[in-house]
Amino acid sequence: MSSLEREIDPEQLDVTSRTKIKRMPSRGHYERELIYQILDEGLVCHVGFVVDSQPFVIPTAYGRLGNCLYIHGASASRMMRSLASGIEVCVTVTLLDGLVLARTVFHHSMNYRSVVIFGTATLVEDADEKLKALEVFTEHIVPGRWAEARQPNRQELAVTSVLALPLDEASAKVRTGLPNDEEQDYDIPVWAGVIPLELTAGEPIASDRLQPGITLPAYARNYTRSQIK
């Protein structure tokens, strides 16, 4: 059975010893819908793994389809070769929503949404699933791009590996709202509150070798991650 055909677990993920939120447990969430939402809005994940007692954490782009997180890279890369061997992996995605300025330095914080995933990845060998995963990857970054750009040829597919990581053991952690100061500190005469942060796109810069007559596509002109929420 391919990873695309995996059965989806119930909406509420089982809490395991690895996914249980121990620090600030009230911020922990195990709803599959929330985990999907965070993953779908993010752009970069960090992949943690250990090879020969040496830990590595590699930032990379990703895509999600159903209950699978897909990552891809050069077939010869250490990360792809190591993960394809079946070693344990930990993948994290974090969205930063604001800086929380409290009345005391101790209670400064950040508003964020994060996901941590544990498991083992499998190499996608089925040609149709591999191509679909690359489409998912492309559409996750820029929706609408796959249909316009040239798709991978046979040689490019041969030197590219795709890994599928099931979203069966995962949890989300979320912090929202205003500062939480100690009661005796609310009278301190200093500004306190939240500086909201969001990822915004700048003005697109055309390639210096763009052919005459090619106009800026709507998906680039109006690009925003808010469309993913």
pLDDT for res 10: 67
- The CATH number of residue 128's host domain is 2.30.110.10
Residue 203, CB half-sphere, CA atoms under 13 Å: how many? 0
Q: Residue 224 domain-assigned?
A: no
Question: How does pLDDT run across 199-223, given as a tens digit for each residue?
Answer: 999 999 999 999 999 999 999 999 9
- Does residue 89 belong to any structural domain of this protein? yes
- Residue 215 forms part of a structural domain: no
For residue 108, the cross-strand partners are none
- The pLDDT tens digits of the residues spanning 126-136 come to 999 999 999 99
Rounded CA-CA distance 81/123 in Å is 9
pLDDT tier at 11 (50, 70, 90 boundaries)? confident
Query: What is the average pLDDT across 180-205?
Result: 96
- 188: which 2 tokens? 């301190």
Range of the domain at 89: 3-200
| Total structural domains within the chain | 1
In this structure, is residue 171 part of a structural domain?
A: yes
Q: At 126, list the tokens.
A: 């089925």
**138 φψ region: left (φ > 0), alpha (ψ -120 to 50), beta (else):** alpha
130 assigned to some structural domain: yes
Residue 222 lies in a domain: no
